[in-house]
Structure 1
Amino acid sequence: MIHVGTCGFCEKQDKYFQDFSTVEIQQTFYKILQESTLKKWREKAPEGFVFSIKAFQGVTHPPNSPTWRRSNVKPSKNVGLLRPTNEVIHYWKITLNEAKILNARFILIQLPRSFKESEESFSNAERFFSIIDRGEFEIAVELRGWSERGIKKFVREFDVIDVVDPMVRVPLHGGGVNYYRLHGKYENGRIIYSYKYSDEELLKIRERVLSFHVEESYVYFNNSNMCEDAQRFKQLIMKF
């Protein structure tokens, strides 16, 4: 089963809930949201709709990250990078509560490139995952700039889903669910989000997703043309 959605609501919610079966909530990364807002989204969503939420940046991103400019919270020096500080654990608890309100299935932890493949990062992650409450949620982790060996060790050690772009590499954790994020084009180590996937690329994505033989796959588009590309990909899946 392949579930298709986008990173954030790419159109009006009522229409989105008709067009797609899942969404990855982005707002929870930038800001701490009102509980009433989350409850409203859950109530509007049809039965069986799957929410994934992105963990608040206080868990993952250091205070010098430009992403904080969009936040409604002023960061302290102790935030981010899975450091097991009081602040990071506090923001994880907020994320966990938001996931409970939404009745989400996944919590996405997207780590920045400043979370280097190092003993320090692995030690921080080890302490972080030993402290936190995971609730009933599946944890998906996107590591950037790590080697395949490092990613494999990380996702197996902490029993998390390896978030991957299927055009770049294969998932490295052999669970029953795969989680894909499609950001656009890659040039010289940079992501070009302003991008529209060709029909040939969407066919290749479909082939690769199906080739991994798992029970469920979640495919989230995160490029500038994500709404149209996700719709086209959905139609492509239904044709075969």
Structure 2
Amino acid sequence: MVFVGCCGFCISREKYFSIFDVVEIQETFYNPPDPEKLKKIASEAPPSFVFAMKAWQAITHPLDSPTWKKAKTIPDKSLSDRYGFLRPTKEVFDAWEKVVEGAKALNAKVIVIQTPPSFGYNEENFRNAIEFFSSTATHNFLIGWEPRGTWMQHKDKITEIVSRFKNLIHVVDPFKTLPAVDKNTAYFRLHGIGSGEVNYKYRYTNQDLANLLSITKRVVEKSKEIFVLFNNVYMAQNAQEFKNLVKQFLL
């Protein structure tokens, strides 16, 4: 089964719920999740709608990351060495508990943990990832890890980590790579096509979407379900165009 949607509500929620199958909540990355607000959002959705949620950056991004400029809630800067990079600290695990509380309120199927390019592959980060995912194992939802930076040159290490945990999946942009490990669920995040890791201003062409459909067909043979989430300026249009392709060719 293929679920198509966007990273964030790019149109009104009412209209969004009438068009798409899934959404990845983004505001939970910048600030701690608000369970009451997430519960309200969940109550507005159709019964079959699926939610994913991006984990709070306190888990993944150090306090000097530029992403904190958009945050309303910033931890004490004197504890800067205690946040981000999946560090095995009380502060990171406390942040994770807030994420779990939000995910339960939302009834999220997937929590997306996007580590920054600065959290590249090295032995310390490898150990941090193992310890973090060991401590967050749960049957309540899947954890989707999107590693960036030099992890892409060490896919065998991604394989080693993801293979250890039943509820952990490798989140990818399928135009750049495919999951290191085949699991029942695959999760695609589409950040635009270009020379860098992201090109948010990119608009996917009809040929791009045809190529994406071809990739999806191959992956769906190995995974029972695929989430396809667009994360570009034209996400609403591109997601709807791709959803129409899926209906036409994958029914």
- TM-score w.r.t. the length of structure 2 is 0.92
Superposed CA offset, 1:26-54 (max 9, x none): 00000124322111101101101100000
Matches within 5 A, 1:90-239: 90-132=94-136, 134-145=138-149, 146=151, 147=153, 148-159=155-166, 160-187=168-195, 189-212=196-219, 213=221, 214-239=223-248
Superposed CA offset, 1:108-130 (max 9, x none): 00000111201100111222223
Gaps of 5+ in 1: none
CA–CA separation in structure 1 for the residues paired with 2:240 and 2:52: 19
What fraction of aligned residue pairs are identical, expressed as a percent?
A: 42
CA–CA separation in structure 1 for the residues paired with 2:129 and 2:165: 8
For the 8 Å contact 1:7–1:24, the answer to whether it is kept is yes
* Distance change (3 Å), C-alpha of 1:9 and 1:200: same
* Corresponding position of 1:88: 92
CA–CA separation in structure 2 for the residues paired with 1:132 and 1:171: 21
CA–CA separation in structure 2 for the residues paired with 1:151 and 1:126: 10
Question: Does the residue aligned with 2:211 lie in a helix, a strand or coil?
Answer: helix
CA–CA separation in structure 2 for the residues paired with 1:170 and 1:27: 27
CA–CA separation in structure 1 for the residues paired with 2:104 and 2:50: 13
Superposed CA offset, 1:70-129 (max 9, x none): 112223311101001111001000000000001110010000011120110011122222
CA–CA separation in structure 2 for the residues paired with 1:201 and 1:179: 18
CA–CA separation in structure 1 for the residues paired with 2:35 and 2:161: 32
- TM-score w.r.t. the length of structure 1 is 0.96
For the 8 Å contact 1:31–1:73, the answer to whether it is kept is yes
For the 8 Å contact 2:59–2:92, the answer to whether it is kept is yes
Superposed CA offset, 1:125-180 (max 9, x none): 22222333535111100011212222212211344111111111221112111000
CA–CA separation in structure 2 for the residues paired with 1:102 and 1:158: 23
* Corresponding position of 2:17: 17
Judge which range, 90-99 or 148-157, deviates more. 148-157
Q: Which amino acid aligns with 2:60?
A: T
Gaps of 5+ in 2: none
Matches within 5 A, 1:28-39: 28-39=28-39
CA–CA separation in structure 1 for the residues paired with 2:68 and 2:84: 11
For the 8 Å contact 2:35–2:101, the answer to whether it is kept is no
For the 8 Å contact 1:4–1:234, the answer to whether it is kept is yes
CA–CA separation in structure 2 for the residues paired with 1:63 and 1:200: 40
CA–CA separation in structure 1 for the residues paired with 2:133 and 2:159: 16
CA–CA separation in structure 2 for the residues paired with 1:33 and 1:192: 27
CA–CA separation in structure 1 for the residues paired with 2:226 and 2:136: 26
CA–CA separation in structure 2 for the residues paired with 1:27 and 1:172: 28
